Amino acid sequence: MTSPCPLCTASDEEILYLSDLYRVIFVNDPDWPGFCRVILNDHMSEMTDLTMEDRSAIMRAVYATELILRDLLHPDKINLASLGNVVPHIHWHVIPRWKNDSHFPDPIWASPKRPWSNKPAVDQQEIANRLKASLG
């Protein structure tokens, strides 16, 4: 028997934007300021399982989230990832990165290279406001 999908049964999420198709959440991880996820509200594992219209809508949310994070936080880079190896549920990671962060240029899942101080402050409400203005 398989365990329930953690993205289908998610609780205590900090939802920044919610549509019928997807939600954008704030990943409350103090190690990664601004880390967001765009999560499909239905259990499907591959983007090609979606209609072209739904694929476009999901990607529009990913791009809007990226643009807002770039504008507010001024990272050196944004990492976009859709892996699904551990949780086979369509979701995109949108991760601001800075050259002085603890792992740069390696992925956030790698071992840290250095300590990271002076992390940027994140205004979740402002992200939510801008997502609403951009998407809905």
What tens digit of pLDDT does each residue of 32-43 get? 999 999 999 999
**Contact partners, residue 106, CB within 8 Å, separation at least 6:** 113
User: What is the pTM (predicted TM-score) of this model?
Assistant: 0.94
Nearest to 134 by CA among 67, 89, 87: 67
Q: For residues 86 and 123, give the distance between their C-alpha atoms in angstroms, rounded to a whole number.
A: 30
Mean pLDDT of the residues in the chain: 95
**What does the pLDDT read at residue 9?**
85
Question: If pLDDT is split at 50, 70 and 90, which confidence band does 12 have?
Answer: confident
Q: pLDDT tens digit string along 16-58?
A: 999 999 999 999 999 999 999 999 999 999 999 999 999 999 9
Is residue 65 a contact partner of residue 93, using CB atoms and an 8 Å limit?
A: no
**CATH code of the domain occupying 14-135:** 3.30.428.10
**In this structure, how many other beta carbons lie within 10 angstroms of the beta carbon of residue 32?**
21
**What does the pLDDT read at residue 1?**
39
